[in-house]
């Protein structure tokens, strides 16, 4: 957007007149005459006029084109997925969504919406955290300087108790202190600089939002909110990883046993305690409440067969993202361990991991997922928005299944469930069965379900580790993949006899929905889209292309 102080309409008519106000709807500077005309025309009378000196280019520079279709303008808002979309997206991606609204309609009342209030609260929380961190890092830097004086004083007192022959050792230790302080100060200043940069960035976002909230249109506010929420999420994720890395450092003088060994005055030790600052992001609610689906599909019709090129291994897991994209785990190919596809069958992107993938689980409230890498005994975090792999870490066993429950990562090993913190620290292990637990799922009530494939058993376990039920049946051969419907019924694919079973949440068979006659051939995982209108089944092993069967549900 131009930053000229000349009237836009006059300039286009080859006239020159200084701008005195700015129309935030037209995004045009206006002179006094054009302001009068603007107010006189009925259709323009409702536009928002502000003083020209209030306007800045950055505040009103809002993205207006679709990321997936750059030649299309953002015109609609999907309430189901809480996202802006263009005409093409509304037809292709959001065709089955319950409520697609024009942006102007969806934005009505945005100034008093939960979304705006929560975004403001998130920004305030981030600002408070950065301000506390700036104060903490500055105090840490100051304490290092004080610690140096205290440490040197201790050294001198100790030195006076010794004979003059120890002067060389004293000089050596003084040098060590100076070098240590120099390194610590450099680290402290780096911490302070990094937090200051983040603080300034968040202040800019807050200022932009505050000004636009006061002077912008509702559409512009909505569009800005959807833009800055990505930045807020990134800052929150960064703080979750950054803050635990900070340490409050100090110096201390540790005297040596000099009477028995006169080869050193002592050493300089660094006393470290974790940074006390924490950041707890305020999770925002939606401005338009997302529709809650409590649906149990009753009819399944094969719509299409998505062919995924993958000759080595199989598709071991399917996850459906919030925007109904398919995230596929590929066994046997770590260079393309994760593969992202649209629900219409278009390949989007692959992601290489540290090993071949088996299970995957989304981390609620973030854009991250955790993936099991059983061939190297590890798990790895992945940003599913950018498809960029994160840190990997060793786990206690060769684990296949994974799920997230109550801010814990739960892994399926051989006859054991392992509970880890979200940073990978071991919490506990419980015994479940005797074979590998290949698939894990947790429902809304806190129950954990796991498939013990080798023993043809499905276990239901509570959060304390108590086995509530273990389901076996003569026709239940090789349970391997699971999904829930809106009523928490379980849909379990059995690998050995090519069937899809539906069980109640307390482990009772309801019916068998699909068999080999419906196209199932060694099914390995199953997933629904977000409104339970599509069912995806990973199919086949010994073929060059692997199937993802797509069933329409009703």
Return the SS3 of 324: coil
pLDDT value at 194 more than 90: no
**Cβ-based burial of 177 (10 A; exposed 0-12, middle 13-18, buried ≥19):** middle
Beta bridge partners of 373: 378
Which helix H or strand E contains 240, and what residues bound it? Answer: helix 218-242
In a shared domain, residues 107 and 205? no
How confident is the model at residue 61, as a pLDDT? 64
Q: In this predicted model, what pLDDT tens digit does every residue of 396-449 receive, in sequence order?
A: 999 999 999 988 999 999 999 999 988 888 999 999 999 999 999 998 888 999
DSSP state of 18: B
Arithmetic mean of pLDDT, 366-385: 93
Which of 165, 318, 162, 335 has its CA nearest to residue 255?
162
Close Cβ partners of 273 (under 8 Å, ≥ 6 residues apart): 247, 248
In a shared domain, residues 87 and 6? no
pLDDT value at 1 more than 50: no
CA distances from 210 to 54, 225, 232 (A): 12, 11, 15
- Which of 62, 77, 100 is at the close of a domain? 62
Question: Does residue 467 lie within any of the structural domains?
Answer: yes
Higher local confidence (pLDDT), 257 or 144: 144
Per the structure, the count of domains in the chain is: 4
Query: Among all chains, which residue has been given the structure tokens 């003569």?
Result: 474
Residues 77 and 106: their CA atoms lie apart, in Å, by 6
Size (the chain), residues:
554
How confident is the model at residue 276, as a pLDDT? 57
Q: Residue 251 is part of which domain span?
A: 176-274
CA angle (147 as vertex; 142, 148 as ends), nearest 5: 100
525, 318 contact by CB (below 8 A) = yes
- CATH number for 76: 3.30.160
- Chain centroid, CA 206 distance in Å: 22
Beta bridge partners of 340: 327, 349
CA distances from 119 to 11, 123, 209, 227, 548 (A): 38, 6, 9, 11, 38
**Cβ-based burial of 460 (10 A; exposed 0-12, middle 13-18, buried ≥19):** buried
pLDDT value at 357 more than 90: yes
Question: Does residue 523 lie within any of the structural domains?
Answer: yes
Task: Tell me the range of 174-178, 185-189, 386-390, 497-501 where mean pLDDT is highest.
Answer: 497-501
Question: Does residue 121 lie within any of the structural domains?
Answer: no
How confident is the model at residue 258, as a pLDDT? 60
Residues 255 and 552: their CA atoms lie apart, in Å, by 75
Q: In this predicted model, what pLDDT tens digit does every residue of 524-546 receive, in sequence order?
A: 999 999 889 999 999 876 667 78
Show the tokens assigned to 11. Answer: 């300039």
Count other Cβ atoms within 10 Å, centred on residue 554: 10
Arithmetic mean of pLDDT, 216-222: 86
Arithmetic mean of pLDDT, 358-366: 91
Q: In this predicted model, what pLDDT tens digit does every residue of 127-158 receive, in sequence order?
A: 888 888 888 888 888 888 888 888 888 887 87
Q: What are the φ/ψ torsions at residue 453 (nearest 5 degrees)?
A: -60, -45
**For the chain, first and last CA: distance in Å?**
48
In a shared domain, residues 423 and 457? yes
Residues 439 and 458: their CA atoms lie apart, in Å, by 10
In a shared domain, residues 57 and 97? no
pLDDT value at 55 more than 90: no
Show the tokens assigned to 235. Answer: 């800052």
Residues 112 and 124: their CA atoms lie apart, in Å, by 17
pLDDT value at 173 more than 90: no
To the nearest 10 degrees (0 to 180), the angle between helices 114-160 and 167-215 is 170
How confident is the model at residue 162, as a pLDDT? 67
Count other Cβ atoms within 10 Å, centred on residue 418: 22
Show the tokens assigned to 258. Answer: 């000099």
Question: Does residue 144 lie within any of the structural domains?
Answer: no
Question: Does residue 168 lie within any of the structural domains?
Answer: no
Question: Does residue 434 lie within any of the structural domains?
Answer: yes
pLDDT value at 291 more than 60: no
Q: Where are the beta strands (DSSP E) in 395-465?
A: 401-405, 408-412, 414-421, 426-442, 448-452, 457-461
Residues 306 and 346: their CA atoms lie apart, in Å, by 9
Residues 55 and 27: their CA atoms lie apart, in Å, by 10
pLDDT value at 115 more than 80: no
DSSP H helix total and E strand total for the chain: 7, 31
Show the tokens assigned to 43. Answer: 């259709």
Q: Which ranges in 266-334 belong to alpha helices (H)?
A: none
Q: What percent of the chain has pLDDT over 70?
A: 90
Question: Does residue 292 lie within any of the structural domains?
Answer: no
In a shared domain, residues 462 and 539? yes
How confident is the model at residue 80, as a pLDDT? 75
- CATH number for 406: 2.120.10.30
In a shared domain, residues 481 and 381? yes
In a shared domain, residues 448 and 346? yes
In a shared domain, residues 83 and 73? yes
Q: Average pLDDT of the chain? A: 86
Q: What is the pLDDT confidence band of residue 284, given thresholds at 50, 70 and 90?
A: very low
Q: What is the pLDDT confidence band of residue 465, given thresholds at 50, 70 and 90?
A: confident
In a shared domain, residues 341 and 427? yes
Arithmetic mean of pLDDT, 332-355: 90
213, 220 contact by CB (below 8 A) = no
Show the tokens assigned to 181. Answer: 């302080």
How confident is the model at residue 353, as a pLDDT? 95
pLDDT value at 232 more than 70: yes
How confident is the model at residue 288, as a pLDDT? 37
Residues 137 and 143: their CA atoms lie apart, in Å, by 10
Q: In this predicted model, what pLDDT tens digit does every residue of 495-526 receive, in sequence order?
A: 999 999 999 999 999 999 999 999 999 999 99
Show the tokens assigned to 460. Answer: 């239901």
Arithmetic mean of pLDDT, 237-257: 82
Arithmetic mean of pLDDT, 109-117: 80
pLDDT value at 73 more than 60: yes
How confident is the model at residue 136, as a pLDDT? 84
In a shared domain, residues 213 and 357? no
Query: Among all chains, which residue has been given the structure tokens 């939002």?
Result: 209
In a shared domain, residues 359 and 498? yes
In a shared domain, residues 374 and 236? no
Q: In this predicted model, what pLDDT tens digit does every residue of 10-27 receive, in sequence order?
A: 999 999 899 888 888 787
Question: Does residue 513 lie within any of the structural domains?
Answer: yes
pLDDT value at 290 more than 50: no
Q: What percent of the chain has pLDDT over 90?
A: 39
CA distances from 543 to 306, 309, 329, 332 (A): 14, 9, 17, 13
Query: Among all chains, which residue has been given the structure tokens 């600002």?
Result: 127
């Amino acid at each position: 957007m131009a930053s000229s102080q000349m009237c836009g309409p006059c300039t286009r008519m080859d006239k020159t007149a200084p701008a005195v106000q700015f129309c935030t709807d037209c995004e045009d500077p206006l002179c006094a005459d054009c302001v009068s005309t603007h107010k006189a025309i009925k259709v323009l009378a409702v536009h928002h006029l502000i003083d020209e000196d209030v306007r800045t280019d950055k505040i009103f520079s809002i993205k207006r084109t679709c990321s997936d279709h750059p030649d299309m303008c953002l015109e609609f808002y999907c309430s189901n997925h809480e996202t802006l979309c263009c005409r093409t997206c509304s037809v292709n991606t959001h065709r089955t969504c319950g409520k697609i609204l024009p942006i102007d309609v969806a934005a009505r009342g945005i100034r008093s919406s939960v979304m705006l209030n929560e975004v403001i609260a998130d920004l305030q929380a981030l600002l408070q955290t950065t301000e506390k961190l700036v104060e903490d890092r500055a105090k840490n830097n100051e304490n290092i300087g004080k610690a140096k004086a205290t440490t040197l004083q201790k050294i001198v007192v100790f030195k006076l108790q010794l004979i003059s022959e120890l002067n060389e050792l004293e000089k050596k230790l003084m040098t060590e202190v100076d070098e240590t302080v120099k390194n610590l100060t450099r680290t402290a200043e780096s911490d302070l600089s990094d937090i200051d940069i983040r603080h300034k960035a968040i202040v800019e976002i807050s200022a932009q939002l505050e000004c636009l909230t006061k002077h912008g249109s509702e559409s512009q506010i909505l569009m800005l909110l959807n833009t800055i929420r990505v930045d807020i999420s990134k800052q929150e994720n960064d703080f979750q990883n950054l803050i635990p890395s900070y340490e409050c450092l100090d110096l201390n003088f540790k005297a040596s046993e000099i009477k028995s060994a006169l080869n050193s005055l002592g050493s300089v030790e660094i006393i470290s305690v974790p940074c006390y600052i924490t950041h707890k992001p305020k999770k925002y609610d939606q401005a338009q409440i997302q529709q809650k689906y409590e649906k149990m599909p009753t009819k399944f019709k094969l719509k299409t067969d998505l062919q995924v090129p993958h000759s080595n291994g199989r598709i071991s897991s399917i996850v459906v993202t919030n925007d109904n994209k398919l995230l596929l785990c590929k066994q046997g190919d770590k260079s393309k361990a994760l593969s992202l596809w649209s629900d219409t069958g278009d390949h989007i992107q692959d992601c290489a991991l540290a090993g071949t993938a088996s299970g995957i689980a989304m981390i609620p409230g973030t854009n991250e997922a955790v993936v099991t890498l059983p061939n190297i005994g590890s798990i790895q975090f992945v940003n599913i928005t950018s498809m960029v792999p994160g840190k990997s870490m060793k786990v206690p066993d060769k684990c296949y299944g994974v799920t997230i429950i109550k801010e814990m990562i739960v892994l399926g090993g051989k006859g054991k469930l392992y509970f880890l913190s979200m940073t990978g620290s071991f919490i506990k292990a419980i015994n479940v069965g005797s074979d590998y637990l290949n698939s894990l799922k947790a429902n809304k009530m806190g129950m954990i379900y796991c498939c013990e494939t080798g023993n043809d058993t499905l276990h239901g376990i509570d959060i304390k580790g108590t086995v509530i039920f273990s389901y076996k049946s003569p026709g239940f051969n090789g349970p391997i993949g699971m999904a829930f419907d809106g009523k928490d019924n379980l849909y379990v694919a059995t690998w050995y006899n090519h069937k899809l079973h539906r069980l109640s949440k307390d482990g009772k068979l309801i019916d068998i929905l699909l068999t080999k006659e419906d196209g199932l051939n060694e099914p390995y995982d199953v997933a629904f889209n977000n409104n339970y209108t599509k069912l995806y089944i990973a199919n086949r092993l010994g073929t060059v292309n692997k199937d993802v069967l797509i069933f329409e549900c009703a």
